[in-house]
């Protein structure tokens, strides 16, 4: 292969590479500060080399004649990758939010640890739920699905015309964030209701037995019962998370079709 060949394929290769970089900016796995940026860029570079033969055959793009239009195409590819990674981020945020709702009910809302993925302090239970979600994602070959979705993205969408798609995109984004909150409630509501019943019971006990220091006793009981509920809830959480990830990949494909 002559140097002219590499010069010829470089513009298309760069478009593919930028889409991959867009995913790493929002994907909770690749955007973690635990992974050095050099490793991420190198990994995306080699992945772009692997995907290039398929992607270049499916990207129906007419290369522009000036640098300004090409820069807009790069921004377009960055947005497509960004949106794919954002879907995955929202799912893990769902686990985190449900853990926060549960933590406050347990009385552990002020007990926070640093989350290495989001680089913010989150309640302990949020971190536990997020780790569960990450392990389930790996167990169901989530990384493989993510690569397949990425490959399919080159098959479905080549260029996004924002002037015609913007009105369709906003309702979909609003629905996505609405579902984030509703799913978080679905995950946490069984445990929240159980602890709420426990609090009501403790309140009744304090009413009929005022000599009991229900405040000190109640906090310990809440924490113990909370962790017992988490252990009992793990099998159901696992099945729920699997269905959630399956639905996630379907929604990403639907989103890509909306952009096409």
pLDDT of residue 122: 66
Rounded Cα distance, 256 and 260, in Å: 6
Give the containing element (helix H, strand E) for 181: helix 162-208
Nearest-angstrom CA–CA distance, 79 and 219: 47
Q: What is the pLDDT of residue 257?
A: 76
pTM: 0.73
Provide the residue-wise pLDDT of the chain in tens; the chain has 260 residues: 555 555 667 777 788 888 888 888 777 776 666 677 787 778 888 887 887 777 766 666 666 677 777 788 888 888 888 888 887 787 777 777 777 777 777 766 566 555 555 556 666 777 777 778 788 877 877 777 777 777 777 777 766 666 566 677 777 778 777 777 777 777 777 777 877 887 787 777 777 777 666 666 767 777 777 778 778 877 777 777 777 777 777 777 777 777 77
Distance CA 237, CA 242 (A): 9
Q: What is the per-residue pLDDT for 119? A: 59
Question: Which residues, in sequence order, are CB contacts of 7 under 8 Å at separation 6+?
Answer: none
pLDDT of residue 116: 56
So what's the pLDDT on residue 58?
63
- The DSSP bridge partners found for residue 49 are none
Under a CB-based contact definition with an 8 Å cutoff, are residues 256 and 85 in contact? no
- Quote the pLDDT of residue 161: 63
Domain extent for 27: 3-259
**DSSP collapsed to 3 states, 24-36:** HHHCCCCCCCCCC
How many domains does the chain contain in total?
1
pLDDT of residue 56: 67
At residue 224, the pLDDT reads 79
Q: Which two tokens stand for residue 151?
A: 């490959």
Percent helix, strand and coil across the chain, each to the nearest 5: 80, 5, 15
Q: Which residues of 11-29 are buried (b: 16+ CB within 10 A; e: fewer)?
A: eebebbbbbbbbbbebbbb
């Amino acid at each position: 292969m002559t140097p002219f060949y590499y010069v010829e394929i470089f513009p298309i290769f760069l478009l593919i590479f930028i889409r991959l970089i867009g995913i790493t900016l929002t994907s909770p796995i690749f955007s973690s500060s635990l992974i050095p940026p050099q490793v991420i860029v190198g990994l995306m570079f080699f992945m772009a080399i692997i995907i290039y033969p398929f992607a270049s055959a499916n990207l129906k793009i007419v290369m522009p004649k000036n640098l300004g239009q090409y820069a807009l195409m790069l921004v377009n590819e960055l947005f497509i990758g960004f949106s794919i990674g954002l879907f995955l981020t929202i799912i893990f945020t769902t686990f985190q939010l449900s853990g926060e709702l549960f933590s406050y009910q347990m009385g552990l809302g002020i007990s926070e640890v640093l989350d290495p993925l989001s680089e913010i302090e989150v309640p302990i239970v949020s971190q536990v739920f997020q780790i569960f979600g990450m392990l389930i994602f790996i167990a169901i070959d989530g990384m493989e699905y993510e690569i397949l979705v990425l490959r399919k993205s080159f098959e479905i969408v080549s260029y996004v015309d924002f002037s015609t798609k913007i009105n369709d995109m906003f309702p979909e984004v609003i629905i996505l964030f609405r579902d984030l909150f509703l799913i978080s409630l679905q995950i946490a509501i069984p445990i929240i209701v159980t602890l709420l019943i426990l609090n009501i019971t403790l309140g009744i006990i304090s009413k009929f037995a005022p000599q009991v220091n229900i405040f000190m006793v109640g906090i310990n009981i809440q924490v113990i019962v909370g962790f017992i509920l988490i252990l009992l809830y793990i099998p159901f959480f696992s099945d729920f998370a699997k269905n959630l990830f399956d639905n996630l990949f379907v929604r990403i494909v639907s989103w890509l079709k909306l952009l096409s």
